[in-house]
């Protein structure tokens, strides 16, 4: 079972009290964007076999969204950070770089 | 290829069964092929089969990173049905079901297609109405289904509890010619047929890159060296986004785990397939007597071929009200597969942004039933370079055009 530390309430939350919310840091496209951009935003996903930046909801806890960095192949969790951050914090990226668990370079 | 028959069985029984040959040949890659198919699951093998059968194209290689049929084709709960809501779906799934009816004879390989009937339970007023709508839609498309009463359902499956306090059974959608088949045999049967006409099936051969010339693929790079080709089609289910990335584009697909389990074998209690969509569980009894049970998919991206344990528990818990006897059964095995989900829960059979690369993916939790029909449609697309009637609605473009083929609302469980 996946376990993440909620960056707000600091509890270690089990997967059963969380709801997954898919790829993080998508830039919302709407009126004024091209059809292609709108399509990319709505449908196209990185869906990597490797490091994934994603959103989770602490639904049976504090009820807030937050970010998780996780490997989709090994299920290793590299860290969590708040939903207000538009980019992953350097601290977590450094951990990811150190712990590349399957030999693939991270961009 | 030696034909399997009652006669060959008798002959071999006098020969200590030493005369059987390997069902398909293990091959090493040649320098080049007309068509390379990536992924030796049911859909990839069926595509190779119909390329040969319908278009006479036999200069084909099927590349597989693991072992033949080791992906979702060997991991599913084998439900075959075609009672979909949308016209485009009904067309391809019903074509597939029809091909299944005679597949054993056609391939000279027993795929154990068992049209024992598929019963979909209606456990809420809303679901009852939705199923009636599906039933009417099916009638228009020529798919044979009827609505049946709870009393009739109890008659057909005496062990079912129709008076559950939480989810009583209000009716059912019955497809008499739906059923199950032996999943491995479907892959093996197609493999044997294509191998007999010289198609190379190359296992332990992962595609790790491609070489492009302008907007055309010229060769694929594999763990067994470079192989050049005129056309390439990838049919890799849960790994579709990874293959697309290698080819230089992205897909509207996400990979998640779907799990199933079987119980210890028991005496026959249920002679058809039962699907309970509201509670996300479905069940059939295998010929060995095991109850084969599957549930809903996990909600997060996953490539580990393992799912969350609580989903197994949820699935079983959901079925206990309707089938109290399963609470006393022991679980024998449990496993997971990585399925490729699209937003509208319909597949993609399509050209791609690269001129001579074709794509078959997005079958998600329900593509076993579609193997023959999908192979048929994909072969046509690859051979002609343009989709035929069956494949055309399932193009990648449909997302951009807002032309969804929405099966996600139609059937909460898509298997
Ligand atoms: C638990 C479970 C239950 C299911 N139940 C049902 C059901 O009851 N009814 C139903 O209709 N469907 C069901 N499905 C769905 C069904 O199994 C799939 O839709 C179907 O098997 C997909 O077949 P495929 O040939 O596309 O993929 P697969 O059988 O997964 O084949 C893809 C192959 O591609 C290979 N591959 C991947 N990447 C590469 C690469 N880079 N190079 C070379 N090879 C590669 C993989 O190793 C794999 O063997 C279920 C699925 C699961 C997991
Ligand atoms: Zn919290």
Expressed in angstroms, the distance from the first to the final Cα of chain B is 34
Length of chain A: 107
- Alpha-carbon Rg for chain A in angstroms: 15
Identify which of B357, B383, B33 has the alpha carbon closest to the alpha carbon of residue B226: B33
A76 contacts chain B (CB < 8 A)? no
ipTM of the complex as predicted:
0.93
Instruction: Work out which ligand 1 atom sits closest to the CA atom of B243.
Output: 41
**According to the model, what pLDDT value does residue A106 have?**
46
Q: When comparing pLDDT for B212 and A106, which is higher?
A: B212
pLDDT for A104 equals 54
Question: What pLDDT, on a 0 to 100 scale, did the predictor assign at position B296?
Answer: 84
Inter-chain touch A43–B252, beta carbons under 8 Å: yes
User: What is the location of CATH 3.50.50.60 in chain B?
Assistant: 27-81+85-94+97-107+183-252+344-411
Is residue B340 within 8 Å of residue B361, measured between CB atoms?
Answer: yes
Q: Where in chain B is the domain with CATH 3.30.9.10?
A: 116-179+255-342
Ligand 1 atom at minimal distance to the Cα of residue B361 = 26
Of B191, B194, B365, B372, the one to substitute when testing ligand 1's pocket (max ligand atoms within 8 A of C-beta) is B365
For B125, counting Cβ atoms within 10 Å of its Cβ (0-12 exposed, 13-18 middle, 19+ buried), the class is: exposed
pLDDT at A101: 53
Q: B116-179+255-342 falls under which CATH superfamily?
A: D-Amino Acid Oxidase, subunit A, domain 2 (3.30.9.10)
Ligand closest to CA B39: 1
The answer regarding whether domain A3-101 maps to CATH 3.40.50.1820 reads no
For chain B, 415 residues long, the average pLDDT of each consecutive 10-residue run is: 94 94 95 98 98 98 97 97 96 98 98 98 96 96 97 97 94 98 98 97 98 96 98 98 97 97 97 93 95 93 93 91 95 96 96 98 97 98 98 96 84 51
pLDDT of residue B413: 52
Please say whether the beta carbons of B200 and B31 come within 8 A: no
| pLDDT value for A28 | 92
Reduced to 3 states (helix: H, G, I; strand: E, B; else coil), residue B75 is coil
Contact yes or no for B343 and A43 at CB 8 A: yes
- With H, G, I as helix, E, B as strand and everything else as coil, classify residue B352: coil
**Domain residue ranges in chain A:** 3-101
Contact: B241, A47; criterion CB under 8 Å? yes
Strand partners, B62: B37, B201
**In angstroms, rounded to a whole number, what is the distance separating the alpha carbons of residues B103 and B118?**
19
Q: What is the mean pLDDT of residues A51-72?
A: 97
Give the separation between CA B128 and CA B130, rounded to whole angstroms.
5
Decide the pairing of beta strands B225-234 and B357-361: parallel
Tell me the backbone φ, ψ of residue B4, rounded to 5 degrees: -85, 130
Structure tokens at B189: 């049967």
The pLDDT, as a whole number, for residue B408 is 79
Distance in angstroms (rounded) separating the CA atoms of residues B339 and B297: 9
CA atoms within 13 A on the CB side of B375: 32
Nearest ligand, CA of residue A62? 2
pLDDT at B114: 97
pTM of the predicted model, to two decimals?
A: 0.96
User: How many angstroms separate the CA atoms of B89 and B78, rounded?
Assistant: 18
Tell how far CA B27 is from the center of its chain: 25
Mutation to test the B interface, candidates A49, A54, A55, most B Cβ within 10 Å? A49
CA proximity to A89, closest of A7, A4, A2, A1: A7
Q: Which residue has the tokens 């969350």?
A: B308
CATH fourth-level superfamily of B27-81+85-94+97-107+183-252+344-411:
FAD/NAD(P)-binding domain (3.50.50.60)
Chain B residues whose CB is inside 8 A of the A33 CB are none
Closest CA to B81 of B69, B92, B68: B92
Query: Cβ of A54 and B250 within 8 Å?
Result: no
């Amino acid at each position: 079972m996946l376990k993440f530390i909620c960056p707000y309430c600091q509890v270690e939350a089990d997967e059963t009290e969380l709801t997954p919310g898919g790829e993080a840091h998508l830039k919302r496209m709407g009126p004024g964007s091209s059809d292609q951009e709108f399509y990319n935003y709505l449908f196209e996903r990185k869906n990597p076999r490797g490091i994934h930046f994603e959103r989770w909801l602490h639904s049976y806890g504090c009820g807030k969204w937050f970010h998780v960095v996780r490997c989709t192949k090994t299920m290793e969790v590299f860290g969590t950070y708040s939903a207000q951050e538009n980019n992953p914090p350097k601290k977590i990226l450094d951990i990811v770089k150190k712990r590349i668990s399957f030999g693939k370079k991270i961009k | 290829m030696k034909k399997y028959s009652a006669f060959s069985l008798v002959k071999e029984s006098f020969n200590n069964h030493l005369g059987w040959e390997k069902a398909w040949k293990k091959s090493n890659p040649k320098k080049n092929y007309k068509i390379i198919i990536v992924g030796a699951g049911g859909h990839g093998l069926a595509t190779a089969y119909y390329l040969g059968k319908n278009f006479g194209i036999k200069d084909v290689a099927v590349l597989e990173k693991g072992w033949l049929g080791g992906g979702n084709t060997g991991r599913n709960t084998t439900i075959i049905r075609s009672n979909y809501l949308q016209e485009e779906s009904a067309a391809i799934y019903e074509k597939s079901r029809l091909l299944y009816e005679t597949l054993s004879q056609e391939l000279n390989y027993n795929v154990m297609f068992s049209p024992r009937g598929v019963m979909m339970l209606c456990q809420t007023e809303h679901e009852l109405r939705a199923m009636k709508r599906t039933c009417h839609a099916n009638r228009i498309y020529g798919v044979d289904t009827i609505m049946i009463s709870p009393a009739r359902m109890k008659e057909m499956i005496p062990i079912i509890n129709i008076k559950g306090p939480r989810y009583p059974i209000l009716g059912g959608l019955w497809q008499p010619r739906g059923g199950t088949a032996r999943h491995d045999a479907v892959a093996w049967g197609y493999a044997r047929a294509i191998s007999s006409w010289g198609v190379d099936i190359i296992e332990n051969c992962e595609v790790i890159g491609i070489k492009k010339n302008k907007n055309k693929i010229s060769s694929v790079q594999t763990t067994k060296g470079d192989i050049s080709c005129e056309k390439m089609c990838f049919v890799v289910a849960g790994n579709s986004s990874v293959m697309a990335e290698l080819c230089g584009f992205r897909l509207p697909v996400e990979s998640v785990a779907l799990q199933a389990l079987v119980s210890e074998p028991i005496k026959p209690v249920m002679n058809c397939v039962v699907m309970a969509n509201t509670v996300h569980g479905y069940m059939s009894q295998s010929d060995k007597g095991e109850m084969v049970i599957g549930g809903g998919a996990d909600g997060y991206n996953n490539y580990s071929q393992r799912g969350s344990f609580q989903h197994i528990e949820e699935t079983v818990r959901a079925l206990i009200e309707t089938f109290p006897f399963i609470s006393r059964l022991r679980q024998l095995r449990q496993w997971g597969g990585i399925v490729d989900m699209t937003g509208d829960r319909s597949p993609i059979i399509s050209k791609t942004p690269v001129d001579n690369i074709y794509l078959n993916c997005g079958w998600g939790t329900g593509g076993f039933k579609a193997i023959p029909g999908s192979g048929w449609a994909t072969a046509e697309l690859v051979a002609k370079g343009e989709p035929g009637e069956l494949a055309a609605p399932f193009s990648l473009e449909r997302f951009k055009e807002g032309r969804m083929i929405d099966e996600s609302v139609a059937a909460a469980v898509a298997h």
